[in-house]
Structure 1
Amino acid sequence: MKERQEGLVSVVIPCYNAASFIVDCLDGLKSQKYKKMEVILVNDASTDNTSKIVEDWLENTKPPFPVIICNLPVNTGFAGALTIGYFMSSGEYIAVNDADDISHPLRFEKQVDFLLNNPDYDLVGSNYQVFYDGNLESLGKVADWLKYGESIRKCYEAGGHCVCHGTILFRGKVFDLLGGPTRRIVGAEDYEFIVKFLNAKLKIENLKEILYYYRKHEQQRSKTFYGGDKSG
C-alpha cells in the first residue's frame, strides 16, 4: 500500500486543450488558503499550446507548491487522465479541479476540515456557481441539483446524480483500495465513481457553501453529454 503524506492535498487536473483556461485554474490554486498541497496536471495529449502556457506560468509565478506535469503521448480520455493523476498522487487527500474551472480560496481548507472533523466520511463535494467565459465577475446561477446528508445516497439509489465531480475531495486511501473511474461508460465516469464509494458503504457529503466556480463556454466537455449543464 502506498504511504501517503499526512495532510497533503494532491490536486489532479485532467487537461485537454485548455490553453484558454489553465492560467485561471492555476491562479485559483495558488490563492488557496490551505498551503499543504501538490498539483498534478495530466496533459492528455493536447493539440494546442497548453504545455507552453503552463511552463510560462510556472516560470513567472513560481507557486509555493510543487506542480507535477505528466504529458501523455496519446489521448486516454477523461477517466484515463484522472486515474493516471490519482496514481501519481502522494497526498492523504486527493482533489479534482477541472482545467476550465476555478476553486474558491477556502475550498481545500473547508473540505479538509470537514473530513478531519468527520472521520466516518470519505468524500466531500461542495456547491458551486456558474460564471461565463472570461469574466468571473459575471456570476450566474448557483447549483440547485445537489443534495445533502442522507439524501445523497437515496438519490443514487434511485439512479440520480447529485455530486459535482469537479468539487470532490476524498481520502487517498480509498483510491488505493477501489481504483479510479471507469473507462467503460463515456460521459458517466463521474457518476460511476461516486456509486463506487456508495457501494463500498462509504459516506459522502456536499458542503452547502459555494467553493467552486464552473465556467460556461463553447468547448466544455459537459456540452457533449449534458447540453452544457454541470452534471458531473
Structure 2
Amino acid sequence: MKRISVIIPSYNHAPYIEACLDSVYFQDYPDLEMIIVDDCSTDGSGAIIRDWVDNLDRAVTSHAVRYDEANDAILRREHRRYERGRKVVYMQNPENRGSTATYNRGFRAATGEYCAFVVSDDICHPQMFSTLAGPLDADEADFTYADLFIVDDAMRILREFRLPDYDFEKCFCDWYLCGVATLYRRSLHERFGYYDETAMADDHECYLRFAMNGARFSHVAKTLYSARTHDHRQVGLHGSARFEALLEHSKALCLKARQWREGR
C-alpha cells in the first residue's frame, strides 16, 4: 500500500475548512498523510484548524446500539470521532506567501509516494483517493484525474463537470481539461520541478510540464470531488482581476501546448 500525501493549503476559508478536512480524513484509503498549510489567514482559519487537529485525539460521538425494553431505554455506544490514525501535519507560513508557494511548502514536506492538493473550501468524495490510486498501482499511469461537481455554498450541485479521456490535444491544446480531482506520483516533482511560483495558472503550467516530459495521464470517469463556486465572495482566485489574469495565462499555455505538438 503506497502512502498518499494530501496537501491542503488554507487561506481565509473559515466557514469551509473543517468540512474539507473531514472529507480528506474520512477517505476510505488506509495510508493517507494530511499536510495542512495556512497562509496567514485573517479570518480565524488558523484557530479553527488548530482546534480540529487538537480534537483528533479527544472528540467523541455515539450511536444507538440496543433498545432496553425493561428500562424503556435506548442504549448508546460512545466512540472516538476520529479513529483512523491519520498522520496529520499542520504548518503556518511565517508571512503570507500566496497559494503556489503554500502548495510547494506542503509538497516538500510530503512523504507519500503519491500526492495531491485539495483546495480548502472543496470536498473530496469518500472513495476519491482509493479510486484514483488504482491506475497508479497498476503502473498504467503516472497521473490520474476524475470528474467533479460544481457546488454552491449550500452544497447544491450546479453542474457535473465530465472531463475527456486523456488526449494531449483535448486536455492541453484545446483547453486545460484535467480538472482539480487529481492524484499523481510525487516523483514527478522530483524529476520535473514543483509548481511555478510566478505562474497565475500554476496547476495548468505544472501539469503541462509533466505531460511534455512524458508523464502518463489517465482519466477516471467517476465524479469524485465537489468544487465550490463563490459568486458573492472575492477571495484569492475568486477575485475578478486575479481570475482574469489566470485565464490569460491559461490561453498562453494552450498556445505553448499547440506549438510543442506541432514541433514534434
Q: TM-score, normalised by structure 1?
A: 0.86
1:94 maps to which residue? 115
Which amino acid in the other structure matches residue 175 of structure 1?
A: H
Cα distance in 2 between the residues matched to 1:40 and 1:94: 11
Cα 1:159–1:189, aligned 2, differ >3 Å: closer, same or farther?
Answer: farther
Pairwise CA distance, 1:192: 0.2
Q: Is structure 2 residue 143 aligned with structure 1 residue 123?
A: yes
Cα distance in 2 between the residues matched to 1:141 and 1:220: 22
After TM superposition, the runs of 4+ consecutive aligned structure 1 residues lying more than 3 A away are 219-222
Q: Is structure 2 residue 206 aligned with structure 1 residue 193?
A: yes
Cα distance in 2 between the residues matched to 1:15 and 1:58: 14
Pairwise CA distance, 1:175: 1.2
1:8, 1:37 within 8 Å by CA — same for their partners in 2?
yes
**RMSD of the alignment, in Å?**
2.3
1:161, 1:191 within 8 Å by CA — same for their partners in 2?
yes
1:8-66 alpha-carbon deviations (Å, 9 max, x no partner):
10000111112111101011012211120110011112122111111111222444212
Pairwise CA distance, 1:226: 5.6
2:198 maps to which residue? 184
Cα distance in 2 between the residues matched to 1:33 and 1:97: 16
Cα 1:142–1:157, aligned 2, differ >3 Å: closer, same or farther?
Answer: closer
The one of 118, 142, 155 equivalent to 2:170 is 155
The one of 13, 16, 37 equivalent to 1:18 is 13
Q: Is structure 2 residue 52 aligned with structure 1 residue 57?
A: yes
2:171, 2:178 within 8 Å by CA — same for their partners in 1?
no
**Structure 1: unaligned runs, 5 residues or longer:** 1-5
1:7, 1:36 within 8 Å by CA — same for their partners in 2?
yes
Q: Which moved more, 1:209-218 or 1:60-69?
A: 60-69
Q: Which moved more, 1:216-225 or 1:71-80?
A: 216-225
SS at match of 1:197: helix
The one of 151, 157, 160 equivalent to 1:139 is 157
Cα 1:156–1:113, aligned 2, differ >3 Å: closer, same or farther?
Answer: closer
Cα 1:98–1:69, aligned 2, differ >3 Å: closer, same or farther?
Answer: same
Aligned residue runs from structure 1 range 202-213, under 5 A: 202-213=215-226
1:164 maps to which residue? 179
Which amino acid in the other structure matches residue 99 of structure 2?
A: F
The one of 205, 209, 228 equivalent to 1:215 is 228
SS at match of 1:85: helix
Q: Percent identity?
A: 26
Cα distance in 1 between the residues matched to 2:234 and 2:172: 32
Cα distance in 2 between the residues matched to 1:105 and 1:213: 11
2:37, 2:102 within 8 Å by CA — same for their partners in 1?
yes
1:79, 1:180 within 8 Å by CA — same for their partners in 2?
no
Specify the structure having the higher radius of gyration (Cα): 2
1:141-175 alpha-carbon deviations (Å, 9 max, x no partner):
0014x2213x2x1135525200113x111101111
SS at match of 2:27: coil
Structure number with higher relative contact order (C-alpha < 8 Å, ≥ 6 residues apart): 1
SS at match of 2:136: helix
Cα distance in 1 between the residues matched to 2:220 and 2:37: 27
Cα 1:226–1:206, aligned 2, differ >3 Å: closer, same or farther?
Answer: farther
Paired residue total: 218
2:126 maps to which residue? 105
1:124, 1:205 within 8 Å by CA — same for their partners in 2?
yes
